[in-house]
Amino acid sequence: MTTATPEDIPDHDPTLVALTVEEAARRLSIGRTTMYALIRDGEIRTVPIGRLRRVPAEECAAYLHRKMHTAAA
């Protein structure tokens, strides 16, 4: 059995720059509730676009980068 990669997920689009909370959670391989908690705690920033709230795609990588540096310290 092989592990699914982002390319195997039909709705994964690497060109997206603004993600829904669910898309961002999927990219980090975490649950939606955990993603909302990270947003609430200010760990992951979001931006309003009209009546919607989106997670900038680079926030996922930035969050992991910050976590890697704090874990190594």
Domain with 28, as residue range(s), is: 13-72
Q: What is the pLDDT of residue 71?
A: 76
Distances (CA, A) of 15 to 12, 26, 37, 40, 41: 9, 15, 26, 26, 27
* Contacting residues for 15 by C-beta, under 8 A, at least 6 apart: none
Residue 34 lies in a domain: yes
Tell me how many domains the chain contains. 1
Contact present, 30 and 22 (Cβ < 8 Å): no
Is the whole-model pTM more than 0.85? no
Decide if 63 is inside a domain. yes
Within a domain: 58 = yes
Per residue in 38-56, pLDDT (tens digit) is 999 999 999 999 999 999 9
Residue 49 lies in a domain: yes
pLDDT band at 62 (very low <50, low <70, confident <90, very high): very high
Q: Is the pLDDT of residue 6 over 80?
A: no
Q: Does any domain span residue 35? A: yes
Higher-confidence residue: 4 or 37? 37
